[in-house]
C-alpha cells in the first residue's frame, strides 16, 4: 500500500463548545502522489478540513496526520513547510512588487541562498508557464496568470503536498480548465500529492479519487466517473454535475447496440475532457 500523505482519523470538530459539530467522525486517507478532490455543497465542512490540515484549527476528537506527523500546536511549522496552499483570491497572497520578488519572498523567509533561489524561481515560473512575466507587477496580471504565480510561489518552496482551496473559483471556465491542467502536469512531473477542495464538479475530473462531503460527513468516496453516475443523489445534496457528464449519462441510457453508438460513455468523456 502507498504511504499516506494526509490522514483524517475519526475527526470531529466544532467552532465552539455549545455550537453544532461541523465535522462528524470524518475519516479518509490520501495516498502520496495521488490527486484527490474534496467536493461538497456550501457549508459542508471543506474549508474546515483545509484549516485542520494546515494547523489553523485543531481536531476536537480524532487525529489529523500529515506526512506521518500528527498536526498539533508543536508541529504546525514543520507541517506547513511541506504543504503548499493556494487560495481563492491570489491578490490577498501577493507581497512582491514584481512576479520574481513575489516568488522569492517565501524562499527568503526560509533563508535559501541566492543561487538556489534563482534556480527555484526560474523552475517554478517555467513550470506554470509564467517565466516571461518575471518583471511584471502581479496586480496587473489576469486572474488566471495571478493564480499561476500563486502556484509558482508555492512550488518554489518544494512542498510535498499542494492544496488548492477553491483556487479557481474566481476564474472563467477556460481559465479554470487551464489551471487544473497546469497543476496536474506539475503534480505528475514532480511527483507531488494534490488535494483540490472545491464546490465545482468540473474540477474533479482529473482527480484519481473524490471525497464527497455532505453536512460535515463523508458521503461518498469514489472515482470521478462513479461520482458523476450518481447525478440524482448529488442534486439532492446540492451538487450539479457538469453538462458533459449529464450528456454521457443520458447516452449511456439510450438503447442502441454498442456497435452502432458513435462513442460509448467512457469514450465520450475522454473525447470531451
The dihedral through the CA atoms of 165, 78, 35, 141 has a sign that is positive
In the bound state with ligand ADP, the residue whose beta carbon lies nearer, of 187 and 215, is 215
Pairing of strands 209-214, 35-40: parallel
In the bound state with ligand ADP, the residue whose beta carbon lies nearer, of 44 and 124, is 44
In the bound state with ligand ADP, the residue whose beta carbon lies nearer, of 23 and 141, is 23
Q: Count the site residues for ligand ADP by CB under 6 A.
A: 10
Gap between the Cα atoms of 240 and 203, Å rounded: 12
Among the listed residues 1, 26, 4, the one whose alpha carbon sits nearest the alpha carbon of residue 13: 26
- The reply to whether 22 sits near ligand ADP by the rule CB under 6 A is yes
- Piece of the chain touching ligand ADP by CB under 6 A; list 37-45, 129-137, 147-155, 265-273: 37-45
Q: Among residue numbers 43 through 62, which ones bind ligand ADP (CB under 6 A)?
A: 43-48
Q: Least distance from C-beta 53 to ligand ADP, angstroms?
A: 12
Among the listed residues 229, 248, 209, 244, the one whose alpha carbon sits nearest the alpha carbon of residue 38: 209
Strands of the sheet with 217-222, listed across from one edge: 83-86, 161-165, 193-198, 35-40, 209-214, 217-222
Among the listed residues 1, 4, 5, 2, the one whose alpha carbon sits nearest the alpha carbon of residue 160: 5
Q: Least distance from C-beta 169 to ligand ADP, angstroms?
A: 11
Pairing of strands 83-86, 35-40: unpaired
Q: How big is the chain by its Cα radius of gyration, in Å? A: 20
- Piece of the chain touching ligand ADP by CB under 6 A; list 39-47, 96-104, 108-116, 245-253: 39-47
Q: Least distance from C-beta 110 to ligand ADP, angstroms?
A: 29
Gap between the Cα atoms of 43 and 45, Å rounded: 5
Q: Least distance from C-beta 11 to ligand ADP, angstroms?
A: 12
In the bound state with ligand ADP, the residue whose beta carbon lies nearer, of 147 and 198, is 198
Q: Least distance from C-beta 22 to ligand ADP, angstroms?
A: 4
Candidate list 40, 138, 144, 242; residue touching ligand ADP; CB under 6 A: 40
Q: Least distance from C-beta 233 to ligand ADP, angstroms?
A: 18
* HSE (side-chain half, CA atoms, 13 Å) at 203: 30
- The reply to whether 42 sits near ligand ADP by the rule CB under 6 A is yes
For ligand ADP, the binding residues (CB under 6 A) are 15, 22, 40, 42-48
Amino acid at each position: 500500500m502507498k504511504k499516506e500523505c494526509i490522514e483524517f482519523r475519526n475527526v470531529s470538530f466544532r467552532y465552539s463548545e455549545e455550537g453544532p459539530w461541523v465535522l462528524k467522525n470524518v475519516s479518509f486517507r490520501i495516498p502520496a502522489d495521488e490527486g484527490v478532490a474534496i467536493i461538497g455543497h456550501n457549508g459542508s465542512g471543506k474549508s474546515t478540513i483545509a484549516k485542520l490540515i494546515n494547523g489553523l484549527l485543531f481536531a476536537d476528537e480524532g487525529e489529523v496526520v500529515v506526512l506521518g506527523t500528527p498536526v498539533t500546536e508543536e508541529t504546525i511549522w514543520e507541517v506547513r513547510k511541506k504543504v503548499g496552499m493556494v487560495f481563492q483570491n491570489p491578490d490577498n497572497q501577493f507581497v512582491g512588487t514584481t512576479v520574481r520578488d513575489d516568488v522569492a519572498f517565501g524562499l527568503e523567509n526560509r533563508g535559501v541562498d541566492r543561487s538556489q533561489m534563482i534556480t527555484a524561481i526560474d523552475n517554478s515560473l517555467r513550470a506554470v508557464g509564467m517565466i516571461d512575466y518575471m518583471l511584471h507587477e502581479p496586480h496587473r496580471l489576469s486572474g488566471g496568470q495571478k493564480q499561476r504565480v500563486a502556484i509558482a510561489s508555492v512550488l518554489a518552496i518544494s512542498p510535498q503536498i499542494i492544496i488548492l482551496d477553491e483556487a479557481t473559483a474566481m476564474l472563467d471556465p477556460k481559465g479554470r480548465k487551464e489551471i487544473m491542467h497546469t497543476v496536474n502536469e506539475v503534480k505528475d512531473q514532480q511527483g507531488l500529492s494534490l488535494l483540490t477542495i472545491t464546490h465545482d464538479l468540473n474540477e474533479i475530473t482529473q482527480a484519481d479519487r473524490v471525497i464527497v462531503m455532505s453536512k460535515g460527513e463523508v458521503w461518498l468516496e469514489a472515482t470521478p466517473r462513479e461520482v458523476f453516475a450518481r447525478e440524482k443523489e448529488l442534486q439532492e445534496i446540492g451538487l450539479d454535475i457538469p453538462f458533459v457528464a449529464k450528456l454521457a449519462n443520458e447516452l449511456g441510457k439510450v438503447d442502441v447496440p454498442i456497435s452502432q453508438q458513435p462513442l460509448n460513455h467512457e469514450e465520450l468523456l475522454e473525447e470531451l475532457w
